[in-house]
């Protein structure tokens, strides 16, 4: 249904461009590069949640609904542990820096 990823070389890719174009695998790859070097624990947790959301969407598009639901639940659990007032900041920061 999805075919192979279009590109896994996303050095110049923007999170929002990839995500809103439904390129969830490429979005995952782009965010993972940020996640690997992140030192702030809360920001790292937020990035991990976004990565899990992308992985969930890939699984959903492949028809693996239960796996998708499990990944989405993990992502939401990570996000729910973060202070609510930081979520807009994290989102804005990631869209600028990805």
pLDDT tens digits along 46-70: 889 989 999 999 999 999 999 999 9
**Does an H or E element contain 58, and which?**
helix 41-61
Q: Which residues of the chain fall short of a pLDDT of 70? A: 1-13, 87, 89-98
Domains in the chain, start-ordered, CATH in brackets? Answer: 19-97 (1.10.3450)
CA atoms within 13 A on the CB side of 45: 13
Tokens found for residue 42:
């809360």
Do 10 and 46 meet the contact criterion of CB atoms below 8 Å apart? no
Q: What is the mean pLDDT of the chain?
A: 80
- The whole-model pTM stands at 0.75
pLDDT for res 19: 78
Q: d(Cα 89, Cα 35) in Å, to the nearest integer?
A: 16
Q: d(Cα 6, Cα 30) in Å, to the nearest integer?
A: 13
């Amino acid at each position: 249904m999805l075919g192979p990823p279009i590109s896994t070389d996303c050095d110049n890719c923007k999170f929002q461009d990839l995500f809103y174009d439904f390129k969830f695998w490429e979005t995952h790859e782009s965010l993972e590069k940020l996640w690997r070097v992140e030192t702030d624990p809360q920001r790292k947790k937020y990035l991990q949640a976004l990565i899990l959301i992308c992985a969930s969407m890939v699984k959903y598009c492949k028809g693996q609904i239960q796996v998708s639901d499990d990944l989405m639940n993990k992502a939401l659990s990570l996000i729910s542990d973060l202070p609510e007032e930081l979520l807009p900041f994290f989102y804005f920061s990631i869209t600028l820096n990805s």
